[in-house]
Amino acid sequence: MVVMSAHRPIPDIIAVIRFAVAAAVIATGFGPPARAAEPVKRIGIYVQPYYEAARDPSGSPRVAVHKSLDVLLSSNERNDIVSARDAVAANTRTITPMTMMVLAIRLYDVGLRDQSVFWFYAAKDRYGAMTEVIDGAAAGLSEVDAAMKSFAVLAGPIVNGYAFCDLDNQKKLRAEALAWVENNPYETMFLERIAGKPGDRHANLKRAIEDAKAAAAKERAYFDDPKSLAAFYEARTNNAMEAKYCWK
């Protein structure tokens, strides 16, 4: 069973995975005023049975997403997390979106936040594309589906909180992550033993990538509008987002 560290409804996976403009804005500044402006230096969430953050910064998280990488991903040493990142980057064809998501969390925890943003976006886009190709229910992936929703809902506001400290950098990382997903298709989607959705799998993947590109374009257009941009930054200021996420 997947357990979230916050009591809130989990939205439909497509709404979570695609970068709808409204979702991006809500996750990065709009909403009730923040109670405090303490810097957020770690992502303290848990999504059982796959990930459980340590109860305090000195502890180590419990990780169960990839047998050969779990030890590295549970380390608090930056070099170990970098090694995990390099291993993920060397296995682009078969690495799971969930492993990429946990990598993003751990990169944030050790201060490599630009890389965290990249892998978080890439994990969401890879999984979003996969859901348009594989029939998750028929393939018995309901628990994985719920876990990915939980990761996106719980880690997203923190990762995006930092990402939008520099809008130009966010746009660059967003584009790079989507390009990575397009250029490194997840081969598991094409295994015949895994139930697929109706239609040609490669065609379904191409359509999913185009949908993701369209959603990213809408997000860019929103922030290209001066009024929207001004409202966005006003909300970030009112909610102390700069102090929470833009620390050096």
pLDDT tens profile 81-129: 999 999 999 999 999 999 999 999 999 999 999 999 999 999 999 999 9
Is residue 231 predicted with pLDDT exceeding 60? yes
pLDDT tens profile 42-72: 999 999 999 999 998 889 999 999 999 999 9
**233-243: average pLDDT:** 93
Is residue 29 predicted with pLDDT exceeding 70? no
Residue 129: other Cβ atoms inside 10 A: 26
pLDDT tens profile 171-223: 999 999 999 999 999 999 999 999 999 999 999 999 999 999 999 999 999 99
CA distance 222 to 75: 39
Q: Are 235 and 160 in contact (CB under 8 A)?
A: no
